[in-house]
Amino acid sequence: MSDKADPRATIADTPSSDAPGLVPDLPGKARGVCIVVDEEPGIQNIVANAAAGFGFEVARFRSAEKTLKAVETLKPSLLFLDVSLEGSDAIDVIRGLDAFGFKGAVQLMSGRDMQTLEEVRRVGERHTLAMLPTLRKPFRLEAVRAVIRQHLAAPLRRTTANLESAPQPSAERVDLEAMLRKNWLELWYQPKIELGDMRFAGAEGLIRCRHPEKGIVLPGAFLPYVDENGLVRLTEMVLRTALVDWVKFAQIGFPFRLAINVPVSVLGKLPILALVRELKPKSDNWPGIILEVTEDQVVRDIPLVHEIATQLRIHDVMLAIDDFGTGYSHLARLKELPFAELKLAHSLVTNCGKERGNSSVCRAAIDLAHRFGATAVAEGVENISELRALREMRCDLAQGFLFGKPIPRDKLLSSLVDHAAARSDS
């Protein structure tokens, strides 16, 4: 047996210790305000009883107008919303919530067909609301309790991508210049898992700031305020770090491909090839690096991205289309790009094992990636049901809280060694 760890140590088909667990019923603990919007008193009672059991204060309404007035004053963290309301409907409420800048989670519920429910949920997502998986009537009390447990375990069900880029409270805002000058920035890694045999297959690098007073600060505290020159400098730091870190992974027997996020606007300004030539590992088994660019940015200038991506590919720098399914790109245009990965947005992956709409779109996206000769990667996988569905759909790779949160490089290195040791002992 080699003295190096197996480069693809097996991951069990169970959540990691970093994955969010279920939150028990805690009637004595205040959870904030929950609003129930439904015309049927019976449904209101079921939801209200479940929410009260978790310590929520509950308010009930039948119309959009009264609901929106209450949202403004009560500031609920959870809102159960029927599709059809007294004199209005859920779309009216969604528009109003967006106008108020509502930050809570929205749980749709209705006896309508799942396709209609999914369409309404997507309207909510386009209005930047945190939409939970839909709940179809009739349902029992335990179904509502399960929704609330999941909401409390994974607040707002926001995607990892949104958590990375969403603006954080102004009190946590940190100046990029200070972070770069004082070396507060770190690259944390979230593992990517090969679904065929459930092994480590790579990792995505995500920026973090280790502030001496504020602790670990997410990118939402500084990325929204960084100008283009700042983005170039930040991306260069991330690229340099990832190229150096690859050696650390390879030394313990994990020479997998790392991925980093790069704004399209930076692709043509940062001398990526020069940096790669200077810093790429002098190793025959270096697999290259992946640059993730979002779908909505790519379609703004496909000819430019195509030219840059083609040149980068010659030097083993591959392109991944990130957040696929959230934009409005024309699929015929995407095939013009030489991309290596198609990353399915969290909104497509969520509940894909149970909701027919999400399942169909997920399967189509995976098939599309394969037709393009690319690898299909599912983002934001959070539960076993989603994992099983994705494996059945022959999705290639996945990442998400089910397998592990982004963690510092050295912590991931230790985890990889431990998994490899456990596998060799089994």
**Rounded to whole angstroms, how far apart are CA atoms 178 and 190?**
26
The secondary structure of residue 10, as a DSSP letter, is B
* Phi, psi (rounded to 5 degrees) for 246: -55, -35
Per the CB < 8 A criterion, the answer to whether 234 and 176 are in contact is yes
Q: Is the pTM higher than 0.95?
A: no
Q: What pLDDT shows up at residue 425?
A: 66
Question: Is residue 283 located within the same domain as residue 200?
Answer: yes
Confidence at residue 21, expressed as pLDDT on a 0 to 100 scale: 30
206: part of which helix (H) or strand (E)? Answer: strand 199-211
Q: What are 265's two structure tokens?
A: 């606007």
**Which residues of the chain register pLDDT less than 50?**
1-29, 155-163, 165-171, 328
pLDDT at site 213: 85
Distance CA 402, CA 30 (A): 28
Q: Are residues 226 and 347 in the same domain?
A: yes
Cis peptide before 27 (omega within 30 of 0): no
Q: Do 195 and 146 reside in the same domain of the chain?
A: no
For residues 176 and 302, membership in a common domain is answered with yes
Residue 257 shares a structural domain with residue 133: no
Q: Is residue 407 part of a domain?
A: yes
Domain C-terminal end among 112, 127, 153: 153
Q: Is residue 76 part of a domain?
A: yes
What are the helix and strand counts (H, E) for the chain? 17, 18
Q: Which domain holds residue 120?
A: 32-153
Whether 335 is covered by a domain: the verdict is yes
CATH of the domain at 192: 3.20.20.450
Q: Which two tokens stand for residue 38?
A: 């439904």
Amino acid at 56: F
Domain endpoint, select from 153, 174, 196: 153
Tell me which residue of 376, 387, 315, 377 sits closest to 351, measured CA to CA: 387
In the chain, the N- to C-terminal Cα span, in Å, equals 14
Q: How far apart are CA 191 and CA 201, in angstroms?
A: 8
Predicted local distance difference test score (pLDDT) of residue 153: 64
pLDDT at 349: 92
Residues 220, 247: one domain? Answer: yes
Describe the crossing of helices 114-126 and 356-371 by its angle, rounded to 10 degrees: 70
